[in-house]
Structures are given as structure tokens and as C-alpha cells.
Chains A and B, each alone.
Chain A
């Protein structure tokens, strides 16, 4: 078919054999050559496998792209001489990447091994875009050595309806970061270990009195997108003792929701503890990073990404040369001690990416081998190469995380108390509704009104009040 399109173009060129139209002919020839001449040659191997990931060399997540092209592909091909592996990079907004992968899988094409955000697993499975690993990869899947190395909670990232759809790549955790210099200036203790929301507010008040421009940055509003939900509403909700989705029911206008939005109101409702405008700006989150790095923000809730990639002294987006001395971190407290989910004193939220097999792969067996290979201890260690982050494998973490106290803190102190988002198709819309509720509070509304409005929206999204818990 592709060939015939090309011939068609070339024929058109022949028809227009008129000397006075060289430009047109030239252009059409260029079209024909470029669209047909540079087909992808599949080398000598009899099997070709493709990896798709939202990373690209020289752009977004370039380390991960370089790992695939420089380590995974050569190493795997060395061990499997009859297999050729190619890489299909993207490196764009997650939503756009998700769209492209969905379109591929919908038309039963696409790469053999695909990167997905763990939160998409449920909706992709429901759409029939992905199948349980064991169904695609066969018996080899259950016998994989790696399962024993991945903690059950982390495995949950790739599980939907009790079935394993993907292998988790790693995870993260959310904490409160604070500026020790500003804390000293405000006469606050170091290390700072708040045990209730009130202590956060108190610290904010002291920071404000000491002249800190933005005492507390708690992400809010729709412009911040999922960062509002993950770093803001959901940890607060967990701290008030509630999860967004449990046992088939969503959390609506409950006491916990009003408490969570109430904290937003305390920070943004005229107290001057937070900067409402920063939450509304289209690039507000980037700005909050820059302002933290410039010493203008006292406390900021973020994932360990902030430590690894934002204030990281050399390659960060908003690098802080003295990060290790100035930036402190502490667990997010529950509303009051013991008031969090499962009776916890502190809470967090986690997410993470997974890799899945394309159920329409022509070579599902080799594809599983490739996927398993990418999650072997050796591959995981190579993936981390130099940078420290939390992988899914305990054996690798034990070895690597010793290099960075912050990430060890996340692995040892935060992951045991963390929670995950529900992987169902309607979640992104619920998340948007939560963001809108915080936006209403930031622009001066009351927590109770915002919570009630959220309840109305939620009913429309999840199919009525019957699916909403207390």
C-alpha cells in the first residue's frame, strides 16, 4: 500500500512532464524520495522488537532514552543475535504521549514494549488496549526472578483487577521541603519535624513574620494540573484519614474533604501564608521552583523529583549549589497525630511508571524476554547510572540509595506509609474536579462551598451519589 502511494506520486510527476514547471516537479520528487526512499531497514535479525517511551535524547528524560539506545539495545542484541531492537522516542506532555499510544493500540499496531504511567493501566486494560502479562508473554512471566525483588505495594502500580499488566520501573514519594536558612532566620528548629497541620501553619506564620515572601507553597488550582492533586489534595485527604477511592466508592463532600480544603483556605484565604496568584499562572509550578531556589519560599510540598531534578546542584531546572546544606525535608504530617489513613501519623502519595507488553505484538515471547531483561538487576543498575532514584527492585535500591540520604529517607521512611491513586478511567476527571475545588478556595471561596460544588461535579462524573462514599 505504501509502495502504491509512492508510485502514484511518481506517476503524477511523469504526467506533468512540462519543462516550465521545474519547481513543482522538483518538490514532488522530493516528496516521493523522502517519504519512500528512507524506509527503515531491519538489519540482519529475523525478529524486530520496538520499545516506545516518553523520553528522547537531548530532550525530556534524555537519560532514559540514552539508556535504551546505548545499553539495553546493544546488550540485548548481544545476547539474542537473531533479534533486532529499535527505539521509538517521544518526550512530550504525558497527555499527548498517552494519546499517541492509545491511538496505536486502538489500531492494533505500535511498539512491542511500551512505557506507561502506572495510573493509565486501568483505563488501558478496560479499553482492551493491554492484556495481563501472563496472557501475552506466556508461562515465563510467572517464573520471572524479578517478582521477589519488587515490594508488593510497588507491584500494585502495574496491577488492575488483581492481574499484573505491567512491570513497575520505580516509584517516588512526597514530602515537605523547607529552606533551612529561612527557618533559622525565623527562629524555627532544625531539623523540623511537624506532627500536625497546625504546626505547618505555625511555621508559616513565623516565616511570614520574618519577612519570607511566600511562607508556604502548597500546589493548588488547575494550572498546576496533576501536581495539585498529587502534592496537595490527596496527601491532605490522606492526612485527614480518607482515600479518594476505596472499596468502589469515591470520596465526596466529606469531613475529610472539607478539612483538606480548609487547610487551603488557611493558607490562601487572606492569611498571606501562600501566594494565590502563583497557583493561577500557567507556568506557576516552574516559577515556584525558581522562587524556592532563590530563597523566597519557606516550605514546599513536592516529590523527590524536586530534590533529584529541580534543585539538584548541577543539572537541575532551578539548581541550588548549596542544596545539601540548605534544603531540608520532612514527612507530611496527618491533620493530627494518628489522624491519617490507617491511623498513621504521617502520610504520602506515590506514583510511578510501568512497562507493558503490546498484546498485538507479533513476537510476544521475545517481547517478554526484552521486557524482563529491561527490569533485570543489571539493567536497572545501568538505568540509574550515576543518578540516584528509587527503582522498583529492592536489591538494586539497597546498593544504590546509600549514595543519597534524601532518597534513602524516601525509601525507608516514606514508602512504608505511602498510598497510590486509583487506576480507573474516570480518575483524571475526578482529579480535575479536585483541582477546581482548590482553585475556588484560592480565589476566595470557602472550603464548605468548594466541597459542595465538588460533590455535584463528582456525581456527574462517577454516575450518581450511589458511587460516592461518606
Chain B
């Protein structure tokens, strides 16, 4: 990694990066900075403020932070990201990758297939699928559990969208960890097994040190994506009474339904900052014990 194996040189390397950089500058950085600027104004989609937006400084930010609905929404989002992405997707994804790594049968391929299918189905379609599953009157789930009339989406809205998102997004973590586990030499695991190390011990001592980077990448990406995931809107519309109104839904309501684009832009930037905090936390957690673990890994499975 450190050398320049292909002999790119600065010039050619720049040429390789340039097309992506141009596209990103024009269609990402520029509109993103513009959006952040809008967050400092009282800009609206229609009405008087659409004609003459004024700079209001940090009013949108103080307004949002002072709004109990925003704080509720933030808290719900943290639970949603923690429950569905960090615990759910990453956990289930790793479990699947771990179990499927040594299996090649038809069942394993089928499992892998449906997990991936739930990831690639259009988001507009999956909303209807989950309605059919969780509907209170005669949803498939109530029919299976013999719980007629149980309103999953109304009585447990947050849990419903968490489970939904685990279903929706586990595939990514599964694929990433499958690839990562290929970096773990089977011989090391065999050695550990012979030394009578249980699975948790194998994971901690042999596997984790080798896939730490992938864990970091995975957590960074799925947290960010889940933080910005609008799909639960199709399922609950943020309700009942905002009990599943995660931040992207809150932004949608503020920016599109209420037309307050300035406030919506400010909240988008707040989401960015929160993600930054998440990223720093992950880095600290996973790099903090960097040295010690690496030495342990180099020394073999025994500690």
C-alpha cells in the first residue's frame, strides 16, 4: 500500500482520481455547501420568505435544538440506528457470515439469496410488503401467531421499523463480513479449536483482530445510511404521533410538507455533525486497543 506498485506517479494518479473528483465537486460538494448555506436562512418553498429569504444566523439551529419534537426525533433515531444497524444488521450479518463461511449447500445459498433479495428490492415496494406482514386486521404475522387485531405498527412502531431495517439492510454487513472472514487463515482457527477455545474466544482472539478494519468500515457506513434512511416513512409515516419519526422523516416533514427549507437544511447539517461524532467514537473504540490486539494476533491464537 505504501509503495507505488503500479508506477502511477502523482500525475497519473491525479488523472485517475480526476473524473470522480469533478463529478463529486459539481454534483455533491457544491449542492451540499449550498444546502448548508440555506440552513442559515429562513428560506421557504413558497410564501413571502420564498421571494425574499433573510439570513437568520443560527436561529434555525437554536430553534431545532429547542423543539421537543426534534429532541424526541433525535433520541428515536439513536435507538433506531443502535438497534437496527449496530446491533441488528451488524450482529445478524456477522452471524450469517460466520455460519455460512463453511457451508456450501443449497440451504445456505437460499438463505444468502433471500437476505440479498430483501436488500435490492425497490424501497417503494418493500413498504407494501411490510404492510402486508404487519397489518393489524389480517396481516400475515397476526394470522401466523394467532393474534388477530394486534396493531404492531401502532403499539410498537419503533420496534417495527427496527426489525424492518434489520430485514432490509443485513445483506450489506453479511457480504462485508463474508469477505473479511476470508482474511482469517483457517489454520489459525483450527489451532484455536484444538486448544479447546470456545467460539467467543476464537472470535475475540483470532477473528476480531484481523477484521477490525472491516468492522470499522461497516459500522461507519451502516450508521450513516441508517441515519439517513427514509424508508420507514412508507411503513409508519412517522406515526402514531411521531413515535417513529426518525430524523430523515422529520426533515421531510419540515422541508417538504411544511415547506421550511431553511430549517430542513439546518437539521440535515446537524445530522452530519452527529454522524461525525459517531465516526470519531468508532475510531476511538477500534483504534484504541490497536497495538495490544495486533501484538496478540501476531503472537498467534494463544494469549
Contacts and interface: CB of A to CB of B under 8 A. Distances in A.
In the complex, are there CB atoms of A and B closer than 8 Å?
yes
B50 A102 contact: yes
Contacts of A211: none
B240 A99 contact: no
A453 B153 CA distance: 26
Contacts of B240: 221, 223, 280-281, 439, 443
A128 B47 CA distance: 8
Given A95-B257, A429-B258, A126 B51 contact: yes
Nearest to B244: A282
B168 interface: no
Contact of B154 (A124, A127, A281, A429): A281
B44 A425 contact: yes
Interface in B98-156: 131, 136-137, 151, 153-154
Interface string B243-284: 000000000000011110000000000000000000000000
Contact of B47 (A95, A287, A425, A440): A425
Interface in B5-60: 44-51
User: Which interface residue of B235, B258, B259 has the most chain A CB atoms within 10 A?
Assistant: B259
A357 to B, nearest CB: 17
Nearest to B154: A280
A66 interface: no
Nearest to A428: B258
Nearest to B127: A282
A158 to B, nearest CB: 16
A369 interface: no
Given A123-B47, A126-B46, A127-B50, A283 B256 contact: no
A222 B241 contact: yes
Contacts of A99: 45, 256
Interface string A411-431: 000000000000011101100
At the interface, is chain A mostly helix, strand, loop or mixed? helix
A282 B236 contact: yes
A106 interface: yes
A277 B154 contact: yes
Contacts of B241: 221-222, 280, 436, 439-440, 443
A443 B157 CA distance: 15
Interface string A111-137: 000000000100110111100000000
Interface in B218-247: 235-242
B287 to A, nearest CB: 38
Nearest to B238: A222
B233 to A, nearest CB: 9
A277 B153 CA distance: 10
Contact of A120 (B46, B137, B235, B239): B46
A96 interface: yes
Nearest to A461: B258
A432 interface: yes
Interface of B is mostly: loop
Contacts of B235: 282
Contact of A282 (B50, B239, B258, B259): B239
Interface string A448-465: 000000000000000000
B153 A282 contact: yes
Nearest to B252: A95
Given A102-B46, A129-B46, A222 B239 contact: yes
B151 A432 contact: no
A120 B47 CA distance: 9
A124 B151 CA distance: 40
Report the contact-size class of chain A (Cβ under 8 Å from the partner).
20 to 34
A254 B257 CA distance: 27
A25 to B, nearest CB: 15
B151 A277 contact: yes
B239 A425 contact: no
Contacts of B237: 222-223, 282
B263 to A, nearest CB: 11
B136 A281 contact: yes
A283 B136 CA distance: 11
A126 B154 contact: no
A372 B240 CA distance: 45
Given A277-B151, A281-B136, A428 B51 contact: no
A221 B241 CA distance: 8
Interface in A77-126: 95-96, 98-99, 102, 106, 120, 123-124, 126
A280 B256 CA distance: 21
| Residue in B44, B46, B51, B153 whose Cβ sees the most chain A Cβ within 10 Å | B46
Given A280-B154, A282-B235, A425-B46, A128 B51 contact: yes
A439 B45 CA distance: 27
Contacts of A440: 241
Most chain B beta-carbon contacts within 10 A, residue among A128, A424, A425: A425
A94 to B, nearest CB: 10
Contacts of B256: 95-96, 99
A425 B258 CA distance: 9
A426 B240 CA distance: 24
Contacts of A282: 131, 153, 235-237, 239
A92 to B, nearest CB: 12
A249 B258 CA distance: 20
Nearest to B237: A282
A432 B69 CA distance: 14
Contacts of A129: 46, 50
Contacts of A221: 239-241
A281 B235 CA distance: 9
Given A223-B240, A281-B240, A443-B241, 13 more contacts: A95-B257, A99-B256, A126-B47, A126-B48, A129-B50, A223-B239, A280-B241, A282-B153, A283-B131, A424-B47, A425-B47, A425-B48, A443-B240
25 contacts: A98-B45, A99-B45, A123-B46, A123-B47, A123-B50, A126-B46, A126-B48, A127-B46, A221-B239, A223-B237, A223-B240, A277-B136, A277-B151, A280-B239, A281-B136, A282-B153, A282-B237, A282-B239, A424-B47, A425-B259, A428-B257, A428-B258, A428-B259, A439-B240, A443-B241
Interface of B: 44-51, 131, 136-137, 151, 153-154, 235-242, 256-259
